[in-house]
A and B are shown apart, each in its own frame.
Chain A
């Protein structure tokens, strides 16, 4: 058995080779900066509030990671957030007074998310449409449906939703427990080999067919998981805002894809991981805070966000190249 120290040393040595290494560096840098310039940034109240606000993007990025690892892309998540949002709110309103009001509304929301993912998956696999365009199409469709369900912001949501969502247990917010539970689920999927098989589809689809993997099934499942995570994100937004909004979620498609890419997952599919996407999502959220506290003004936020994404991606590519040549060098030395 290796000692704890050895294991730790080995881990820290392998760290620079992890695809999410760069996001981690940026993240630590941001956290240190915020410690200096952010007034009371590290107060328990501020951190729990922040985490709640980050939660939807973290969830969508996790879902998006499944799709991207499988060689796809889901542009429809933004409108899906809106659709689940309004469906849940409408059900809450019409079932008001019923004892099953909350479970039905939540399950229906999740059901809509998974069904939408299934449709996306069918389009991409059996109809062989390119993911970018077909999910852009469904983005418009989900958006249109959302407006049919609720044509403007409003609707009443029991305030208990917010109370539960913003509650803490043993000093840790509810949303952290939820995320931990979901990560456990992701870990389970990794251990069943699902994630590996999905990566195989994204890495070399011919090789995946050659290995008799159920390629279409795996890819459809990845879109369904993405829909599932998006619906949870939508429910979090409902709990946070306590109202319905048929336009909520706009921008989440590209933001989640950026988070996944920043986390070191290859947009071409086949390589990457979930931890990276979480780090990437937090980096994206922190950019705004850093700029705010640096006193740069809101107008610079978008510009800086764009520049940081491009820089991080370029540096990440450079890092991958170095790792490859390092692996080859090591091999030559062995021989």
Chain B
């Protein structure tokens, strides 16, 4: 029996098409995996099923009944539960209080919470994890804020189970779990299956799919690629379906050999928030990419190097000499520059003139207190034409420009500080194709002139087509390095996903 069916579902966010005529069906007591590359629409589909997002078009049926404009609460009443990666727990409450929140067992007479039954129920649902948790009555009285992230994730799972759902969606719920905890999670999936509960699992762990999945649905660019029985496919075939045809690769940058080029930047044992023991080097004129699944520590590496977030490192050497990059001003003084893709939050001062937007950082770097506007213009105008910026007057506010040109203003600002190393953090996010292409050309020209770039992008193709070397990140660590022929999507995803297999095998 089909318990949930989505037909022709579409959803747009502004210009971005998140789901395009997507079809999906979930059988009773089935473990259904949902996979796809970054931003393929998996999460959007789940949010539509959970009633969190309303589709622009298409139909949704739950247990054979068409539903339209379903609210999250109605979805829950129909027995749909979601376990998110970002937790919905109340940090200040105890484990028991979180699991039983809103479904407290009550004594008949005064309507008081039956504390004994409540503790027992909480322990019952945590019981699946009895091998990996020190379960007793004291354990469930602990405050959730005091728990490590993996145990919080377990509490979140137990909380969803305690609501006795018919359909349960796990949105990367195993991402922060250890091997033994994953085993316990599998036993839950099997138990749910045996009592007729259907599960949708979003996961990037290939070996999970082959171990426990019944069917797998592969998505790409908001569209359905295929839904197949797991026993009929191999992990490699799934990756190929996720990534699509390889002919799309349009590499502009020639493969170059940096073996004999001098190393300008060397980082050893960088550790910090979301970063674990990252070491790499950067050659003069090289473009180094930071890739992998989203949120694996790439942004944090860039922020740490730019002195924005605290870190520890064995050594950070610039041109062979150790340097202190603990604050952004120090990083700037050592000729580093960081360009964020979040233009509004960490880029332009939108109400201020273009002129001010461009000079602000170099004024600080070169400690210029008094300057001649005319002489500044002599510096600015060639720069702006070099990066092909279209603007009216330098005194116009920055928000009079298009998004692409605003981003170029930010680039111009940092180029004026004459950086040796440019840190790009998804810098071309949300900018049209034309401006993006120009941006790539600019980067290539600047690198040919001796600048080096460390580039993180959530667009895998952008990264693969414009860099000389890509470091693949997983859980804050570098798990692979792609050079030359290996710079392609299949290798990138294989590295990003395979590492998890090794990671688990070791533990």
Contact = CB atoms under 8 A, between A and B. Distances in A.
Genuine A/B complex: yes
Interface stretch (B84-92, B229-237, B357-365): B84-92
A208 B93 CA distance: 11
Contacts of B145: 324
Interface in A198-253: 199-200, 202-204, 206-213
A204 B89 contact: yes
Contacts, number: 67
A211 B113 contact: no
Contacts of B101: 196-197, 200, 208, 211, 213
Instruction: Sort chain A's interface into a size bin.
Output: 20 to 34
Interface stretch (A52-60, A300-308, A326-334): A326-334
Nearest to B77: A212
Contacts of A271: 92
Interface string B383-403: 000000000000000000000
Instruction: Sort chain B's interface into a size bin.
Output: 20 to 34
A318 to B, nearest CB: 17
A97 interface: no
Given A212-B76, A324-B146, A204 B91 contact: yes
Given A211-B102, A212-B73, A199 B88 contact: no
B16 interface: no
A193 interface: yes
Given A206-B88, A212-B102, A193 B93 contact: no
Nearest to B142: A327
B356 to A, nearest CB: 33
Given A209-B72, A211-B101, A327-B146, A196 B134 contact: no
A334 B102 contact: no
A192 B72 contact: no
A210 B91 contact: no
Contacts of A328: 146
B142 to A, nearest CB: 8
B88 A207 contact: yes
A207 B88 CA distance: 4
Given A191-B112, A193-B113, A213-B102, A270 B90 contact: yes
Contacts of A202: 92
B71 to A, nearest CB: 11
B152 to A, nearest CB: 12
A334 B90 contact: no
Contacts of B382: none
Contact of B146 (A200, A206, A331): A331
A191 B116 CA distance: 12
A331 B149 CA distance: 13
12 contacts: A188-B110, A191-B112, A192-B112, A193-B104, A196-B93, A196-B104, A202-B92, A204-B88, A204-B89, A207-B88, A211-B159, A213-B101
A-B pairs, top 6 by smallest CB distance, nearest first, are A210-B88, A270-B92, A271-B92, A203-B90, A203-B92, A327-B146
Interface of A: 188, 191-193, 196-197, 199-200, 202-204, 206-213, 266, 270-271, 324, 327-328, 331, 334
Given A203-B93, A210-B72, 14 more contacts: A191-B110, A193-B113, A196-B101, A197-B102, A203-B90, A203-B91, A204-B88, A207-B89, A207-B90, A208-B101, A209-B72, A211-B102, A211-B159, A270-B91
